[in-house]
């Protein structure tokens, strides 16, 4: 017998894809955070150790990875607020699909200025 | 075919034993976890957006980050409490989220128990380490070159 559950209204469309996106970003952020606490812990080793590792992050390639991370966080955050509204707001379930477009809209509104600022800082080299 | 979007009320009451992946009832734990995901989520939006804004957008952005930058922030109890709350909430939220995902996909008891054990050990190590780092941080370690340290170390 097929292992795929059949005939749920949740399959496909906005509800499912936002859920997939929420899962994938959640796991990605979690693994980032494990590494991030480890590299921050280098401040307890020595100022040199911390600065040396952080210096390797300050290049255009890492700037793109950071942009990807921020894109993931911003989506997860806004979609998380959407999930909370679906659960607690009376009209939430009715507007869930519309709210996903709201999430995407807000995501663009936050990401565009962020990318302009972050990438111009990263590609112009600072000091 | 038009897809009907009418959402039926969820089935409530007892779940037939063949559909549960654990033996006994877990009491209110799952309800607490569900609520915690939502409450911590709201707080994390503020903490993480603030963290990213201050560390990436203000001044020189990432270029400003070095030992002196961290020392300057953690000299202020405000940022110590900020980072400590962010550490604990994000780690508990993330660990619980990954636990849910393991429960969803790992169908064999052995696999599930192994993966969750690894998850809990890794999370505990990171939370303890991160907490110790904030509480034992020394902004002016002896023997370090003065130019790497925040300016208040000379005083
Ligand atoms: C590329 C983006 C990021 C940069 C450049 C960055 C940078 C930093 C820096 C410089 C610190 C040292 C203390 C401070 O400044 O407050 C720090 C600490 C911390 N960051 Fe981030 N961060 C980033 C993203 C994130 C994200 C997305 C999260 C949450 C999921 C996060 C969670 C934390 C936590 C919990 C600490 C405290 C660590 C400890 O207790 O040792 N950071 N980060
Ligand atoms: C920025 C603020 C955040 C908000 C508003 C938020 C919101 C939420 C909500 C409401 C859920 C529950 C979804 C459900 O029960 O269907 C959730 C799940 C999850 N979150 Fe977050 N979250 C945030 C930050 C984070 C961070 C920093 C991490 C990683 C450390 C993370 C990792 C996860 C994971 C792994 C799940 C489980 C996904 C699943 O079961 O499909 N979240 N989040």
Enumerate the domain spans of chain A: 14-124
Write the ipTM: 0.87
pTM of the model: 0.88
Whether domain A14-124 has CATH 1.20.1300.10: yes
CA dihedral A31, A36, A41, A45 (to 10 degrees): 110
Give the Cα separation of B65 and B67 in Å (integer): 7
pLDDT-derived band at A16 (thresholds 50, 70, 90) equals confident
Q: Is B106 on the interface with A (CB under 8 A)?
A: no
Residue B101: domain span: 26-138
Query: What CATH number corresponds to the domain at position B99?
Result: 1.20.1300.10
- B114 is a domain residue: yes
Question: Mapping DSSP to helix (H, G, I), strand (E, B) and coil, where does residue A95 land?
Answer: coil
DSSP class per residue in A51-111 = HHHHHTT-SHHHHHHHHHHHHHHHHHHHHHHHHHHHHHSTTTTTTHHHHHHHHHHHHHHHH
Considering only CA atoms, which of A69, A74, A4, A57 is closest in space to residue A31? A69
**Chain A hits for B43, Cβ within 8 Å:** none
Give me the number of domains chain B comprises.
Answer: 1
Task: Ligand 2, residue B95: give the atom nearest the CA.
Answer: 35
Q: Tokens 């999370």 map to which residue?
A: B123
CA dihedral A28, A33, A34, A38 (to 10 degrees): 140
Render pLDDT for B100-121 as a digit per residue (tens, 0 to 9).
999 999 989 999 999 999 999 9
């Amino acid at each position: 017998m097929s292992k795929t559950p059949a005939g749920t209204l949740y399959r496909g469309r906005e509800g499912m894809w936002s859920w997939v996106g929420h899962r994938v970003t959640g796991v990605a952020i979690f693994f980032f955070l494990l590494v991030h606490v480890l590299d921050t812990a280098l401040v307890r080793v020595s100022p040199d150790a911390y600065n040396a590792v952080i210096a390797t992050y300050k290049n255009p390639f890492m700037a793109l990875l950071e942009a990807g991370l921020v894109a993931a966080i911003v989506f997860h955050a806004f979609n998380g607020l959407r999930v909370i509204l679906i659960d607690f707001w009376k009209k939430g379930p009715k507007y869930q699909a519309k709210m996903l477009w709201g999430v995407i809209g807000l995501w663009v509104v936050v990401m565009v200025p962020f990318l302009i600022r972050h990438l111009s800082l990263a590609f112009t080299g600072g000091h | 075919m038009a897809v009907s979007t009418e959402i039926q009320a969820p089935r409530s009451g007892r779940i037939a034993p063949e559909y549960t992946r654990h033996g006994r009832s877990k009491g209110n734990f799952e309800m607490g976890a569900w609520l915690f995901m939502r409450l911590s989520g709201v707080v994390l939006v503020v903490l993480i957006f603030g963290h990213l804004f201050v560390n990436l957008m203000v001044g020189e952005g990432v270029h400003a980050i070095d030992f002196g930058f961290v020392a300057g922030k953690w000299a202020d109890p405000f940022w110590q409490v900020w980072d400590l709350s962010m550490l604990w909430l994000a780690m508990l939220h993330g660990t619980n989220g990954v636990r849910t995902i393991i429960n969803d996909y790992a169908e064999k008891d052995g696999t599930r128990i192994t993966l969750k054990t690894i998850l809990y050990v890794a999370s505990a190590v990171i939370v303890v380490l991160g907490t110790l780092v904030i509480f034992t941080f020394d902004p002016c370690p002896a023997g370090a070159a003065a130019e790497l340290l925040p300016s208040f170390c000379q005083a």
